[in-house]
Amino acid sequence: MKTPLKPPFDSAGKLSSAGSRPAFPVQLNAGKGNHFATKTVAAAARSTSSNGKNDLKKPFQPGASDGFGLDSAVRARMVRRLAEQGVLDARVLAAMGAVQRHHFVDTALANMAYEDTSLPIGFGQTISKPSVVARMLELLQQGLTDASGRLGRVLEIGTGCGYQAAVLSHLATEVYSMERLRGLHDKARENLRPLRLANVHLLFGDGMHGFAKGAPYAAIIAAAGGEAIPPAWTEQLAVGGRLVAPLQDASGAQALAVIDRTPQGIRQTLLEAVHFVPLKSGIG
């Protein structure tokens, strides 16, 4: 079933010039299965620090307060390794080099932030290794983009600590990122607030249902794998859009799946083996 288009959006998942973003926070329709979800804009101007002052007015200075000597040169080395591993999209490489990964992990793990490894972020979850993030984003970039090569509106299932949403902010017009665990949703909000990313919007809710209010999406990306792609995801994907997610077989093994919504229907391609946390429903 094709998802009806909302007036502010066009069929490619982009904001129309005549429209504007939906106002937030919003209450999701209980009849759509997401009645617990709430919306948080990562750079909400009303956010205040514990001393009552607005903590978003202070300019963000990359690396200024890290104390680890992790500067752009370290990220540049990571980007070179990604290119050597086969990531060729210049936009993806630039986005990976622009975001401080160590800002999204615990201080004790900061010295490992730019190694090609996944790291724990609490709540039984992990931040994906850079090569997997870059690979999935490059696959998205090969889908529906505008004339300049930029993605339109993207839905991310599984915000985690917020790192991938930050990278996506450099590639997409709008990023809607949904997390089912309240603790991680709050952590991502705190991680992203200093970055002042006006095009990143965080949602707390059950990602199995997607976010119909923002559909159609030019791209959907998921950080958890189940035995089937939830129907809501493909329904909310724009014609010409692309979905990248882990897909699990009966034995529990996962492979990276690319799903394209074409005018003729859904086309699915399975690629290399991957390992992600299981896709779950509900909130926690």
- Active-site residue list: 128
By the 10 Å C-beta count (0-12 exposed, 13-18 middle, 19+ buried), 66 is classed as: middle
Residue with tokens 């890290």: 66
- Cα–Cα distances in angstroms (integers) from residue 44 to residues 25, 104, 122, 160, in the given order: 10, 19, 25, 19
- Measured distance CA(134)–CA(40) in Å, rounded: 26
223, 157 Cβ separation under 8 angstroms: yes
Tell me the two tokens of residue 206. 């059950």
Type of residue numbered 194: P
Q: Which of 29, 2, 11 is nearest to 206 (CA)?
A: 29
- Cα–Cα distances in angstroms (integers) from residue 227 to residues 46, 68, 126, 206, in the given order: 41, 41, 20, 17
Question: Which DSSP letter does residue 9 get?
Answer: B
Neighbours of 246 (CB within 10 A): 23
The string of DSSP codes covering 152-189 is EEEEEE--TTSHHHHHHTTTEEEEEEEES-HHHHHHHH
